Amino acid sequence: MSSSADRAVNSGIVNGGISYWFADDGLPPVREPLTGDAHADVVIVGGGYTGLWTAYYLKKTAPFLRITVLEQKFCGYGASGRNGGWLYNGVAGRDRYAKLHGHEAAVRLQQAMNDTVDEVIRAAAEEGIEADVHKGGVLEVARTPAQLARLRAFHEQELVFGEKDRELYGARATAERVRVADAVGSAWTPHGARLNPAKLVKGLAAAVEALGVTIHEATPVTEIRPQHAVTPYGTVRAPYVLRCTEGFTASLKGQKRTWLPMNSSMIATEPLTDEQWAAIGWNGRETLGDMAHAYMYAQRTADGRIALGGRGVPYRFGSRTDNDGRTQPETVAALRDLLVAFFPALAGVRVEHAWSGVLGVPRDWCATVTLDRSTGLGWAGGYVGSGVATANLAARTLTDLVQVDSGQGGPTPLTALPWAGHKVRRWEPEPLRWLGVQGMYATYRTADRRETLTHSARSSRLARVADRVAGRG
Ligand SMILES: Cc1cc2nc3c(=O)[nH]c(=O)nc-3n(C[C@H](O)[C@H](O)[C@H](O)COP(=O)(O)OP(=O)(O)OC[C@H]3O[C@@H](n4cnc5c(N)ncnc54)[C@H](O)[C@@H]3O)c2cc1C
């Protein structure tokens, strides 16, 4: 795979190679592919957090189950091995679920997400997975008056959904945590931790295998139908077939318009010096984000770098996905500019690695977990940008749904969460899909620029229009 670790000759930045996390910790040897037809009790398509946590909890709950995971490349090849390492309590679609199912149902979903942050930390510790976890919470900064107004509204909203232990800071208190240029305020919640995503997914695959789950890698599934997962090397038959393919879902037969593959790109700096860290602060190692419409996310890594991500080129025509994580040079430049805008003291710092990945976006921007009892087909995903913790909650929910369906247990608090069984319409065909997403992100960027220039405390109307057109509002 190292041949795909493309080197940008002029800058010396490694671009692609899946992600910095794999470059740092090493790509794993690829497990044996499927070598003919097979049978299982549950077949799981996709070896990311969703598929692996599902295998994990199913096997823990019912050790007698024969479970097979089919992964097209290797476990962690997708977003689970490339993300920003924000293990946090955000879940895509909570506010819509409140409208559809009532406030109390959405509070239960939020509470389950808060608990999930701790569940991931607990389970990883129990399995001896060393993933550089640091629970410093999530800090989101505002850098314009409009961002500050959104931050305050967001903070109030989180209190309404039952968070009691979050805090709101002014400019000075923000600087005491992390010195972000132009920061006028921030909000902090304890429900978040930084981690190394590739270490988590590698450790999880090993733990699942040790429990007796069969993992076949280099095995792409070309079609899923009831009781069948079809690959070029054979078909695995099972009463339950669970699709855990997130941003890659569009490549499966019949799923082209189910979830839109949205890109997100990241950069990692060289390790910063003690002087540079002293200038920045960030001793609490909170995951760090902002309130821009085209938002950024960052973490202080265990080896003393900053890993920072943002949207870049959001969507490739025809739902194409990336090439082993390679991202566009203009995206790398834009992320670098953002890093220096946040931390001017880092103007001379070297960016060592850049990469991208895809996440799954449903038409209504709501994460879902479903088991169709008439076919035995299940799926979970559409997490948008919040899947590190959400995948774990989805996996435990899928486990309970399978248990209920197979008569091994009754409904549980998880199967009663409002996102279970949620249905969503499909995306528009091309070119409307491409035009819509390009237009939305161009509008967000214009709105961010306007808010910075005008210093108005009102959120740009443009962004509200883009939200409505995209189905987010
Ligand atoms: C750059 C980036 C940064 C992010 N940052 C954060 C963050 O900081 N915090 C957060 O909460 N979320 C973040 N996310 C989102 C989060 O990483 C994902 O939501 C989460 O990893 C999804 O896990 P998954 O297992 O559902 O999907 P994936 O990890 O994408 O796994 C799907 C797997 O299925 C395999 N697959 C696909 N199709 C097939 C097929 N046909 N046959 C066999 N196998 C197949 C793929 O190879 C892949 O390994 C980020 C995403 C990206 C791309």
DSSP notation for 27-72: PPPPPPPP-S-EE-SEEEE--SHHHHHHHHHHHHH-TT--EEEE-S
SS3 call for 342: helix
From CA 207, how far away is CA 464, in angstroms rounded? 44
Q: Give the H or E element holding residue 225.
A: strand 223-225
Instruction: Tell me whether strands 287-290 and 138-142 are parallel, antiparallel or unpaired.
Output: parallel
Q: Does residue 271 have a cis bond before it (omega within 30 degrees)?
A: no
Domain 31-115+197-259+364-405 belongs to what topology?
A: FAD/NAD(P)-binding domain (3.50.50)
**What distance in angstroms lies between residue 250's CA and the mean position of ligand 1's atoms?**
13
Phi, psi of 143 (to 5 degrees): -120, 0
In 3-state terms, the chain is what percent helix, strand and coil (to 5)?
Answer: 35, 20, 40
What is the atom index within ligand 1 of the atom nearest the CA of 388? 11
Handedness of CA 336, 342, 347, 349 (dihedral sign): negative
Best residue for ligand 1 mutational test, from 194, 308, 359 (most atoms within 8 Å of Cβ): 359
Which of 388, 392, 397 to mutate to test ligand 1, by most ligand atoms within 8 A of the CB atom? 388
Q: Relative to the CA of 360, which ligand 1 atom is closest? A: 19
pLDDT digits (tens, 9 = 90+) for 248-260: 999 899 998 888 8
Please determine, for residue 29, whether its predicted confidence score (pLDDT) is greater than 70: yes
Q: Is the per-residue pLDDT at 6 higher than 60?
A: no
Can you tell me the mean pLDDT for 379-384?
96
pTM, 2 dp: 0.94
**CA 78 to ligand 1 centroid distance, Å:** 4
* The token pair that represents 258 in the structure block: 């189910």
DSSP assignment string, 273-322: PHHHHHHHB-TT--EEEE--SS--EEEE-TTS-EEEEE-SS---GGG---
Taking residue 175's Cβ as centre, other Cβ atoms within 10 Å add up to 14
Q: Give residue limits of the domains in the chain.
A: 3-24+135-193+260-361, 31-115+197-259+364-405, 430-473
Count of Cβ atoms closer than 10 Å to residue 333 Cβ: 14
CB atoms within 10 A of CB 75: 28
Percent of the chain with pLDDT over 70: 90
Q: Ligand 1: does its nearest atom lie under 6 Å from the Cβ of 45?
A: yes
Cβ 286 under 6 angstroms from ligand 1:
no
Any atom of ligand 1 within 6 Å of the Cβ of 68: no
Q: Which pLDDT value is given to residue 458?
A: 76
Q: Can you tell me whether residue 267 is helix, strand or coil?
A: strand
What pLDDT is attached to residue 317?
64
2 band by pLDDT with thresholds 50, 70 and 90:
very low
pLDDT at 315: 62
Rounded Cα distance between 255 and 418, Å, is 23
pLDDT band at 455 (very low <50, low <70, confident <90, very high): confident
- Comparing CA positions, the residue from 335, 292, 314 lying closest to residue 440 is 314
**Contact present, 86 and 95 (Cβ < 8 Å):** no
Q: Which residues of 120-132 are buried (b: 16+ CB within 10 A; e: fewer)?
A: bbebbeeeebebb
- 260: phi then psi, degrees, rounded to nearest 5: -80, 130
- 255-287 residue pLDDT tens: 988 888 988 999 999 999 999 999 999 999 999
Please report, as a single letter, which amino acid is at residue 20. Answer: Y
Among 19, 44, 215, 248, the mutation site with the greatest number of ligand 1 atoms within 8 A of its Cβ is 248
Local confidence band at 447 (pLDDT 50, 70, 90 cut-offs) = confident
What is the reported pLDDT for 415?
98
| Listed residue (218, 195, 220, 200) closest to 29, CA to CA | 218
Q: How far apart, in whole angstroms, are the C-alpha atoms of residue 22 and residue 393?
A: 25
With a 6 A CB cut-off, is 192 part of the ligand 1 pocket? no
How far is residue 213's CA from residue 59's CA, in Å, rounded to a whole number?
Answer: 8
Phi, psi of 263 (to 5 degrees): -85, 145
27 lines ligand 1 (CB under 6 A): no
As to burial, measured by CB atoms within 10 angstroms (0-12 exposed, 13-18 middle, 19+ buried), residue 398 is: buried
Q: 238 near 39, Cβ under 8 Å?
A: yes
Strands 368-372 and 287-290 turn out to be unpaired
Predicted pLDDT of residue 448? 77
252 lines ligand 1 (CB under 6 A): yes
| Banded model confidence at residue 81, pLDDT cuts 50, 70, 90 | very high
Per-residue pLDDT at 8: 44
Q: Which residues, including other chains, have CB under 8 Å from residue 246's CB and lie 6 or more apart?
A: 46, 48, 50, 78, 79, 259, 358, 359, 360, 381, 382, 383, 387
The domain 3-24+135-193+260-361 is classified under which CATH number: 1.25.40.10, 3.90.740.10, 3.30.9.10, 3.60.140.10? 3.30.9.10
Ligand 1 mean position to 252 CA, how many Å? 15
Protein residue with least CA distance to atom 21, ligand 1: 80
